Amino acid sequence: MLVVDGFGIGAMPDAGALRPGDAAADTCGHVLDHAREAFGRPLRLPVFGALGLGLVHPHPDLARDTRLPVAAGRAALGYPGADTFAGHQTMMGADFSQVTVARLGDHLAEVTAALRAAGHKAELLDGRPLLLVDGSVLVHDNLEADPGINWNASARLDDLGFDGILDVARTVRAVAPVARVIAVGGRADGPLRRFVRDGDGGTVGLDTPASGFYRNGGLQVQHLGAELDHTRQLPELAARAGIPVTFVGKAADILACEKAVRRPAVATGDVLAHTAEAIRAPGGSLVVANVQESDLAGHQQEPERYARILEQVDAGLAALVALLDRPGDRLVVTGDHGNDPTIGHAYHTREYVPVLIHRPGAPGVELLPDADSLADVGATAAAALGLDPAGLANGRRIPQRAAA
């Protein structure tokens, strides 16, 4: 399963509820349009086309037919907002329908009390609804996802080691009602208070892309998620059945499975290389990989960079398709949300995502009905592994609809 982070293919019906302009979001289409104008040529995505992307997102620069045995459709997100952690957990079979959306400013009293009880000094930063902890860690709303989905604990590694940042994040996690508390350490272009700004919906936080954390090297991140029953997610289901599990890229940071082999990486070339290496291992296995640089390009509103990453992913997909050539093999290419770099802001966008399944040995091309949730993608993968999707907390196998 290869998740292209932030790769949406058109706005969901409720995409404009928070930001009306997001009703026009189309990460895939807008990147293709921009690339043709910027590069003077169509974006080269032959493998995405062969996997059926043009069938579910018609565009002049995508092939409208394929000779590969694929099933192609799209999926709604199936969780509130648009978030990488919630997206991946949902895809693995978690039920995120009850996750609370909350601004830090509405929970300052309990967060401050928890930090002080743990021996930390916690105070408002410049009288605004975010906390400065021990003079170095900012506890704040995450401005890269929809308001209220996630909170961050961020600090410069020059001021505090990552273990110290993580300690603060864990204390916050213990009382946080949101899906994710993210510990972030990196190299900034200056004091972090310089990069604090207002977000949507009354949120206030660190503008992480503007701080330089993503471009200055040394970035360390750990995602602390809401309590979930990981025993009812696809990786644990597979592991209990004796199927080896490997997480690659950001998936290694955010997915749970004690027996999984983890290959964390950010560079797209490294993610694709680790994925191919895991696939080459003898015997059946479950490999879940995340291409993160597409999402970073979306946050930084760089459509040309996003386009080049898609071409790099396409080249890597050619190798994966060649490796997965036996009947029963499956390659699932999908996304976790949208991140339209042309939409005019640095947030995720609430979009449908593609569900492109390469199925050696299957007859023809199948068009899949819209899946109600990313959990249905995980349930479909479970069935392909010979596992009972009923063992997951959420999701059902995507039914076949029509041969084309």
Question: Can you spell out the DSSP letters for 254-274?
Answer: H---TT-EEE---SHHHHHHH
Confidence at residue 144, expressed as pLDDT on a 0 to 100 scale:
84
Confidence at residue 85, expressed as pLDDT on a 0 to 100 scale:
87
Segments in the chain below pLDDT 50: 402-404
Q: What is the pairing mode between strands 245-249 and 261-263?
A: parallel
d(CA 65, CA 70): 11
What type of residue is 368? L
d(CA 361, CA 349): 36
Q: Taking the CA atoms of 332, 336, 340 and 341 in sequence, report the sign of the dihedral they define.
A: negative
pLDDT digits over 312-366, tens only?
999 999 999 999 999 999 999 999 999 999 999 888 999 999 999 999 999 889 9
Got the DSSP string for 224-239?
EEPP--GGGSHHHHHH
Confidence at residue 100, expressed as pLDDT on a 0 to 100 scale:
77
Confidence at residue 288, expressed as pLDDT on a 0 to 100 scale:
98
Q: State the Cα angle at 196 between 192 and 202, rounded to 5°.
A: 150
What type of residue is 226? A
- The distance from CA 369 to its chain's CA centroid, rounded to whole angstroms, is 23
- The distance from CA 63 to its chain's CA centroid, rounded to whole angstroms, is 26
Long-range Cβ contacts of 398-402 (<8 Å, 24+ apart): 398/73, 398/355, 398/368, 398/369, 398/371, 399/368, 399/369, 400/71, 400/366, 400/368, 401/366, 401/367, 401/368, 401/369, 402/366, 402/367
H/E stretch holding 47:
helix 46-50
pLDDT digits over 153-167, tens only?
999 999 999 999 999
Enter the pTM of the model.
Answer: 0.81
- Take residue 399 and report the two structure tokens written for it: 């039914």
What type of residue is 41? R
Least Cα distance to 8 among 339, 376, 355, 312 occurs for 339
